[in-house]
Structure 1
Amino acid sequence: MNYQFDFHFLSGSLPMLWEGLQVTLKLAVVSNLIGLVCGFVLCLMTLSRWFFIRFPAQMFIELFRCTPVLLQVVWFFYCVPMLFNVFIDPIMMGFLALGLNMTAFNSEAYRAGVQAIPREHLDACTALGLKAWQRTLFVILPQALRNATPVLMTNAIGGLQQTALVAIVAVGDLMYVAKMLATDAYRPLETYSVVALIYFALSLPIAQLVQYIERKQDAATGRS
């Protein structure tokens, strides 16, 4: 292999990479927040005993689970304005597309967490005369969140990586900036290698934290 690596050209592009990284982090944080909040609401809808609430929620989940994320991003960016005559800022559209995808996957994580709650805890809520919202807020949510935390954090890593897909619709995230730099300098190996290391550096601490939490939960389960 006679290729000579040269990373020096990237030194003058650090401000551009930083701006792209900021957009990536915004997309990751906001879409994960949407997924955490709306995912729990969607989970409660799927567990409803009323079919007209449960069925649309289940269809929403299956729609986002059974179609490629890239297709979802492209659909929101190009089809929503055409169908509804609504033109939203590209970053806001990225929040919406990625956030709804996270909502679907986090809902399933929450559902598994809710189903892992001992039946005795729910019976105790009835015995204490707690209202439905009190039972949901003070009993179900804390336990479901604790049970689902490893999966939710794993989904967060996936959400961070999925932000790169908005580059295809010209949102100026880290991946889009990298694509421009690689094209202008004819240095794709150096550019994409550096960007890969950035994504790795962002994801690795979360992955290590997930493993730590899983070990703590396993140890607590073993003690109980």
Structure 2
Amino acid sequence: MGGYTWDFSAITRNWDQLMDGLAVTLQLTGICTVIGLVGGFLVCLMAMSRLAPLRWIAVAFIELFRCTPALVQIIWIFYCVPFFFGVFFDPFLMAVLALGMNITAFNAEAYRAAIQAIPSSHEDACTALGLSPLKKTVYVILPQALLMATPVLLTNTIGLLQQTSLVAIVAIADLMYQGKTLATQTYRPIEIYTAVAFIYFAFSLPLSQVVGLWERRLRSRLA
């Protein structure tokens, strides 16, 4: 390290290319976050359903995506889905599918833990008021589940932002892919990868601070 000469011009000259990759990364993160928030709650309700077939399907989905590496999931969906099912999508959509299902499984568990923490007296009150299952879910369970699950959901979003870097292996031009390309082209991998790491850090740190703030507010509110 003592004899190494840093040259950050490789970053400044190619900043636009890195920002193009960042735009793809943020698109993936935003779309998959929405999928995970909505899909996670639906899968959670299925996993807690009294109907055994729905419950089995949801539990199998959750365990499959929680117990296998995200990288393996991405590669399998990119190469095996077209082979076995004859379904071909745009690579970006395939990445959304893979990452969306992954975060859906993790968010489903976050919702489940939050719903189980809701006092049973709240459900008794819904029954006493004659609320339908749909109204009980929308107006009572969902708001409270979101409130209590938010720290975990935000933590999952941070993990999702970082996991988007895995799509570089299937040649989607995200931040990591652009960084890898520039490292090869400029012969300055240390500077390029350091810049890429700081960009991920710059977006992850504020979210992690929000998680800590929300947890403190939640603890004080519940107290």
Query: Does the TM-score normalized on the shorter chain lie above 0.5?
Result: yes
In the alignment, is residue 119 of structure 1 matched against residue 120 of structure 2? yes
In the alignment, is residue 147 of structure 1 matched against residue 138 of structure 2? no
Q: Identity of paired residues, percent?
A: 57
Q: Distance in 2 between matches of 1:100 and 1:77?
A: 14
In the alignment, is residue 108 of structure 1 matched against residue 109 of structure 2? yes
Q: Could you say which residue in structure 1 is the equivalent of 2:58?
A: 57
- What code does the residue aligned with 2:103 have? M
Q: Could you say which residue in structure 2 is the equivalent of 1:29?
A: 30
- What code does the residue aligned with 1:92 have? L
Q: Which runs of 5+ in 2 are unaligned?
A: none
Q: Could you say which residue in structure 1 is the equivalent of 2:207?
A: 206
Superposition pairs for residues 48-197 of structure 1, below 5 Å? 48-197=49-198
Q: CA deviation at 1:97?
A: 0.3
Q: Deviations over 1:9-33 (max 9, x none)?
A: 2212111111100000000011111
In the alignment, is residue 38 of structure 1 matched against residue 47 of structure 2? no
Q: CA deviation at 1:50?
A: 1.3
Q: Distance in 1 between matches of 2:59 and 2:209?
A: 32
- What code does the residue aligned with 2:106 have? F
Runs of 4+ residues over 3 Å off in structure 1: none
In the alignment, is residue 16 of structure 1 matched against residue 40 of structure 2? no
Q: CA deviation at 1:87?
A: 1.2
SS state at 1:40 partner: helix
Q: Distance in 1 between matches of 2:11 and 2:146?
A: 42
Q: Could you say which residue in structure 2 is the equivalent of 1:3?
A: 4
SS state at 2:11 partner: helix
213-222 or 56-65: bigger deviation? 213-222
Aligned length: 222
Q: Distance in 2 between matches of 1:9 and 1:117?
A: 53
Q: Distance in 2 between matches of 1:197 and 1:127?
A: 54
Q: Distance in 2 between matches of 1:196 and 1:179?
A: 12
- What code does the residue aligned with 1:101 have? N
Q: Distance in 1 between matches of 2:109 and 2:69?
A: 17
- Pairwise CA RMSD: 0.7
SS state at 1:133 partner: helix
Q: CA deviation at 1:221?
A: 2.1
Q: Deviations over 1:155-176 (max 9, x none)?
A: 0000000000000000000000
Q: Distance in 1 between matches of 2:159 and 2:93?
A: 19
TM-score by length of 1: 0.98
